[in-house]
Amino acid sequence: MLYEDKRNFFRMMVNAQVQINLLDSESGRQLDGVCRDLSATGMSIELDEPLEVNTELKIKVDSTNNGVPSLDAIAKVIRCTSLESQEYLIGLEFIEMN
């Protein structure tokens, strides 16, 4: 059986630190996560706590290459999956790129 990826954009596997600010929270809470994959329209991050679908976040991934700018974006949670050992895989869709 032939597997056909239905994605419109190629996903790149990444293992980079992500700084996250919750925009829906009055506290302006900050979290640290790990980017697991990245595409032109979204990304998957691993966190140690779940996030609700439709939560809006400001995310930043610092670049390790001087020729490539840091990723700065507003994103929305579209999926939250529980992993082993109290970790969660969060699917994000980009709303705005800065």
| Residue 36 is assigned to a structural domain of this protein | yes
| Residue 1 is assigned to a structural domain of this protein | no
Q: Tell me the DSSP string of the chain.
A: -------SS--EEEEEEEEEEESS-TT--EEEEEEEEE-SSEEEEEESS---TT-EEEEEE--SSTTSPPEEEEEEEEEEEE-STT-EEEEEEEEEE-
Contact yes or no for 40/62 (Cβ under 8 A): no
What pLDDT digit, counting tens, does each position of 55-77 carry?
Answer: 999 999 887 777 778 889 999 99
Q: Measured between alpha carbons, how far is 6 from 64 in angstroms, rounded to an integer?
A: 30
What pLDDT digit, counting tens, does each position of 15-55 carry?
Answer: 889 999 999 767 678 999 999 988 889 999 999 999 999 99
Q: Which range marks the domain in which residue 18 is found?
A: 12-97
CATH number, domain at 49? 2.40.10.220
Question: Domain tally for the chain?
Answer: 1
